[in-house]
Structure 1
Amino acid sequence: MVDFARVQKELQECNRDFEVSGIKVVPKSDASLAHLLGTITGPLGTPYEGGTFKIDITLPDGYPFEPPKMRFATKVWHPNISSQSGAICLDILKDQWSPALTLKTALLSVQALLSAPEPDDPQDAVVAQQYLRDYPTFMGTARYWTEAFARTSSLGVEEKVQKLVEMGFPDALVRSTLESVEGDENMALEKLCSG
């Protein structure tokens, strides 16, 4: 059974210094603390700089004795992250997990992974091959994906609503969807299209 008192404390810890750490975690719905949405910023000096990445977090019944299940909801070009599913290859999310670790330390580790790819232990073989064989192209592709999928739009809420309504979605649904994804236009569109 998930220790929800601990999860509450961890959420407070994660959100306390967002401006400094670039890490935030919120429940995906008011109904449960077992499904969360994490946010990390792209590390400086990497092709992910300037990006804001959403991470889908599911806490198994055995949490904190079992690792949280994390996957990128934002598309990212990285050898240790699936470009298709967002699956993350990181030892502390598997066999190196310890109950002493927290959601914040796990997200800090994911953020550090963006700075230090491990192409010899890839999650995405195509990206890893590009990283090893054609590093300049890898950097360009990673930067492009950050621009395309992880940059928060500079459009205001009303402009985003208008843009999505023009695509044929109802105004009220667009507003509630944008609110549920904290104004992330790409995630809103993905959610609207998926039903």
Structure 2
Amino acid sequence: MALRRIQKELTDLVNNPIPGVSAAPRTDDDLLQWRGSIAGPAGSPYEGGVFKFDIVFTIDYPFKPPTVKFSTKIYHPNIGDDGGICMGLLKSEAWKPSTKTVDILNTLVNLFSEPNPDDPLSTVIAEEYRSNRAEFNAKARQWVATYAKP
């Protein structure tokens, strides 16, 4: 069931791509391991960067969420040093089998424009985001220039 569902979602993504986002299986013979990238949204401190990520589905998908991790370093309150993401949609207790890969990708894009400092992986970055947005934006832009250039 998982592979059939993932193939359908892949076909939907190919037919209806998300602007600035690419995601597909790493190889033709393994639908469970995906690689993708997101272009930093215009108007955000991440603009001009390209952020690579991996999605790993389990055979229990869609009943269990996939694991999503960035391989590009990002200065963000909801993304850890190891690339892990704190995003409500991916938490086991909030996951719904009706959630699709396109929903995950759209939520990731939104996270770049609207970080959630109330549910951070880095409390230090979240506090800076809340209290000194100019400094946060400057550091995020510097990390883009250092780690996320295409």
TM-score scaled to structure 2, two decimals? 0.90
Q: What is the rounded CA distance, in whole Å, between the counterparts of 2:115 and 2:105 in structure 1?
A: 15
List alignment gaps of at least 5 residues for structure 1: 153-195
From the two aligned structures, give the one with the greater strand fraction: 2
Q: What is the rounded CA distance, in whole Å, between the counterparts of 1:38 and 1:22 in structure 2?
A: 11
Superposed CA deviations along residues 47-98 of structure 1, whole A, max 9, x for unmatched, are 011222111111022101111110111111111111x101111111012222
Q: % of aligned pairs identical?
A: 39
Structure 1 counterpart of 2:57, from 56, 59, 62 = 59
Asked which structure has the greater RCO (Cα within 8 Å, sep 6+), the reply is: 2
Q: What is the rounded CA distance, in whole Å, between the counterparts of 1:44 and 1:16 in structure 2?
A: 24
Structure 1 counterpart of 2:99, from 91, 98, 101 = 101
Q: Provide the residue aligned with 1:85 in structure 2.
A: 82
CA RMSD of superposed structures (Å): 1.6
Q: What is the rounded CA distance, in whole Å, between the counterparts of 1:33 and 1:146 in structure 2?
A: 30
List alignment gaps of at least 5 residues for structure 2: none
Tell me, what secondary structure is at the counterpart of 1:12?
A: helix
Is 1:14 aligned to residue 13 of structure 2?
Answer: yes
Is 1:4 aligned to residue 22 of structure 2?
Answer: no
Structure 1 counterpart of 2:135, from 118, 130, 137 = 137
Q: What is the rounded CA distance, in whole Å, between the counterparts of 1:124 and 1:66 in structure 2?
A: 25
Q: Provide the residue aligned with 2:112 in structure 1.
A: 114
Query: What amino acid does structure 2 have at the position aligned with 1:99?
Result: P
Q: What is the rounded CA distance, in whole Å, between the counterparts of 2:9 and 2:26 in structure 1?
A: 15
Q: How many residues align?
A: 149
Q: Is the 8 A contact 2:3 2:59 kept in 1?
A: no
Tell me, what secondary structure is at the counterpart of 2:106?
A: helix
TM-score scaled to structure 1, two decimals? 0.70
